[in-house]
Every structure is written in structure tokens, then in C-alpha cells.
Amino acid sequence: MITKALLEDIPALTTLINSAYRGETSKKGWTTEAHLLEGKRTTEEELTEIILDTKNTFLKFTANEKIIGSVLLVEKEHQLYLGMLTVSPELQNGGIGKKMLAEAENQAKALGLSSIIMTVVSVRSELIAWYKRHGYAETGQREPFPSSDIHINISDSPLEFVFLEKKI
């Protein structure tokens, strides 16, 4: 079931998101960034700010009373920004990500927005290909990947974001 995340969901969401993107647990799934980045993907403080911001909608996918997926949706002018699409590493390739994308499209349509945009790390070719199979296309826009105390680049290549968009 997909519903709006609440403040009380933050500890579970933080654990889920970090386990899917970074560290050893993320290697159980195909969306890991552990070979590119060290540190955490997010913090409870960041998720609190996100959920409290009224421009944002943070959705959770719950099964058997456990959060197993999530996605951040941000209303930006005529577009919906999609970020932090997360599925528990043990459950990837089971259709949860596809259901989260479909719900994002429903949200965009309900808001009267014309497209969904997102950024993906450029060297994540398998992830970019997955989004393309779901109707997203590269816009040609790129921007440098931000460095911070949380996102520590361990890749041999410089990282940058590729922008993807789906017209709806």
C-alpha cells in the first residue's frame, strides 16, 4: 500500500534508504551506490526537513506493516521532481519501483503538472536504462555531483548528475 510518509516513519525510512544505497546491505540489490560513494544517503534531520516542507510529498510503500519502499516528490513550477526512489534491496526486481513510479505519475497528473524530472548519477547506466524503459529520456542537462560530509566519492571517475524527464 502506498501512502504519505509521516514524521513517525522517519527512523524506518532513514534505515531503508541508507540500506538500499550505501554499505554492505545495499549490495544485495542492483541499485547500490556502495562502489561509488561512502557515507550515508540521508539522515533523520534531512528527512524531517523534507517531510515538513509543504512543497514535498514523501510516499512510503508498506507491506505487512513494514516500510519497504519510498519516493520523494517535489512540486517545481510545471514539473514534479522525483528523488530518493528506494526499494528494500532484498525486494528489488519485484515491481515495487514500478508501482512507485506509477503513483508519482498519478500525483503529477492530479497536480496538473506536465512532466516528471529526476537526476541520476551519470555512471549508473543500468539505472538510467531502467528509467528509460519506463518512459524517461535524458534531457541533455548535467550538473556536478555535490561533495559533502555525507556523500564521499570513492569512484575513479568524477561523478555528475544526468537529468531525466518523462512527459505526462
β-strand 115-121 against 79-87: which pairing, if any? Answer: parallel
Distance CA 124, CA 30 (A): 10
Distance CA 141, CA 157 (A): 19
Q: Which has the closest alpha carbon to 144: 156, 158, 129? A: 158
Residue 167 has pLDDT above 50, yes or no: yes
Name 45's Cβ contacts closer than 8 Å, sequence gap at least 6: none
CATH architecture designation of domain 2-167 = 3-Layer(aba) Sandwich (3.40)
Distance CA 76, CA 89 (A): 29
Residue 154 CB neighbours (<10 A): 11
Residue 75 CB neighbours (<10 A): 16
Rounded to two decimals, the pTM is: 0.85
Residue 21 CB neighbours (<10 A): 24
Residue 33 has pLDDT above 60, yes or no: no
pLDDT at 32: 56
Distance CA 86, CA 44 (A): 16
pLDDT tens, position by position, 44-99: 999 999 999 999 999 999 999 999 999 999 999 899 999 999 999 888 889 999 99
Domain positions in the chain are 2-167
